[in-house]
Amino acid sequence: MVPEHCESLINTMEEQHNLLLSFQKEEEILKKYINDKDWNGLQESLVTLEKLSMKMEQAESQRFELYRQLCTSLNLSSDTPFYRTVADVDTAHREELIRIYRQIKVVTIQIKGQSKGMQDYLDVTTNTIKFALQEIFPHKKGNLYNTAGKKLEANHQALFLNKQL
């Protein structure tokens, strides 16, 4: 019975790994769209990433359930660490589970780094634009003071920017 749980778990983890690789590639495409200021492509990429995220969530739920079943069949708690659990599995399945587990961890770390880099770029760009706009339109900063030193409210008129800037 344990090999059956192992095979299903391996297949699900392979699927999860493939989804993560697809997500990673789509994030690279997203970054290119941001750099090229291709807003239509950016929107399409965001939709694709959302679909991939939903598939990844389903795969993760399925993987967790299969892992729980494997732990139960080995008379272990479902919160038993992965390497402790696979220690009780036959060698062939153990090696395969460890291999795919490591691949998933590596691609997850790569995605985190890629996402962090993109977020940092967007933060710097956004802050630069905000700073420039505050210098160009000081009356839009928020807090204004009259000659007597009393606080005045800024006129909150909408400001439209050409999205091709």
Q: Is residue 164 part of a domain?
A: no
**The predicted structure's pLDDT at residue 1:** 43
Q: Is residue 160 part of a domain?
A: no
**The predicted structure's pLDDT at residue 80:** 92
Number of domains within the chain: 1
Find the mean pLDDT for residues 70-95.
92
pTM value surpassing 0.85: no
In the predicted structure, residue 159 carries a pLDDT above the cut 60: no
**The predicted structure's pLDDT at residue 157:** 57
Comparing 12-16, 17-21, 40-44, 122-126, which segment has the lowest mean pLDDT?
122-126
Find the mean pLDDT for residues 96-110.
96
Give the β-pairing of 151-153 and 143-145: antiparallel
Q: Is residue 158 part of a domain?
A: no
Q: Is residue 165 part of a domain?
A: no
Q: Is residue 132 part of a domain?
A: yes
Q: Is residue 124 part of a domain?
A: yes
- Taking the C-alpha atoms of residue 32 and residue 26, their distance in angstroms, rounded to an integer, is 10
**The predicted structure's pLDDT at residue 129:** 83
- Taking the C-alpha atoms of residue 151 and residue 158, their distance in angstroms, rounded to an integer, is 21
Q: Is residue 11 part of a domain?
A: yes
In this prediction, residue 133 has a pLDDT band, given cuts at 50, 70 and 90, of confident
Q: Is residue 81 part of a domain?
A: yes
In this prediction, residue 162 has a pLDDT band, given cuts at 50, 70 and 90, of low
- Taking the C-alpha atoms of residue 112 and residue 109, their distance in angstroms, rounded to an integer, is 5
- Taking the C-alpha atoms of residue 153 and residue 143, their distance in angstroms, rounded to an integer, is 6
The residue range of the domain holding 31 is 2-153
Cβ atoms of residues 73 and 1 within 8 Å: yes
